[in-house]
Amino acid sequence: MFVSEIFLSIQGESTYAGLACVFVRLAGCNLTCSWCDTPYARGVEGARDMTADEIIAEVKGFKCGLVEVTGGEPLIQSGAKELVEKLVAGGLKVLIETNGSVCLDGISKKAVKVVDVKCPSSGHAGSFLIENLGFITEYDEFKFVIAAREDYEFAKDFLREFAKDRAAEVLFAPVTPGLDPKDLARWILEDGLSVRLSIQLHKYIWNGERGR
Ligand code: SF4
């Protein structure tokens, strides 16, 4: 597998936000989101070619019980599901973040899938693979990165139409920088939505520094 970086940080998103977490960032992506905050991971240039066992050995070196497999889009690499399986078998709590455009079938049920459904401002509204709804469990999380009111309305419609009561959590995250979190907070409160406002904690701490 092509690996962009492996590092220890504070989990900045999801319901695991605030916990120490090892990130395995696989290289390569099938999308080109307009506000992508990891453009260096969209291609494989400069990435290390590693086996699942080599990745796991490096992860275990950090002595941290929480690991997130992310990207790029991790699932475009054929070994990603095996990597998740082996990390779970190794006793780690595993999150996998995906853009939802690649089939989720075959991912360990013990891993938490954080599914980032793309909104219109990303340039990829409609990229979510609708069959993936069948693979979302009550332990998984939907995430919507929101840059404008149009994205917010899209996310609300998606939840109403497809995702109600399907996943454990729904995260609404403002694009940083881009949308003032106060605006998103106000919209959520005005509509009485049962979603979690997700501020990217790692950016608050390290201001978007790479490897954090
Ligand atoms: S899916 Fe993620 S890595 Fe790929 S372009 Fe979009 S934000 Fe960047």
pTM: 0.95
Q: Which ligand 1 atom minimizes the distance to the CA of 41?
A: 3
Instruction: Kindly report, residue by residue over 69-85, the tens digit of the pLDDT.
Output: 999 999 999 999 999 99
> Ligand 1 mean position to 189 CA, how many Å?
28
Pocket of ligand 1 contains residue 26 by CB under 6 Å: no
Ligand 1 centroid from CA 141, angstroms: 17
Structural domain that includes position 32 = 2-206
Write the CA distances from 182 to 11, 125, 168, 187, integer angstroms. Answer: 22, 24, 25, 9
| 139 assigned to some structural domain | yes
3 state SS of 76: helix
Cross-strand partners of 148:
none
Total structural domains within the chain: 1
* CATH code for the domain in which residue 62 is found: 3.20.20.70
pLDDT at 155 over 70: yes
Q: Quick check: CB of 38 below 6 Å from ligand 1?
A: yes
Mean pLDDT over residues 146-170, rounded?
90
Q: Is 71 in the pocket of ligand 1 (CB under 6 A)?
A: yes
The answer to whether residue 184 is domain-embedded is yes
Is residue 211 included in any domain, yes or no?
Answer: no
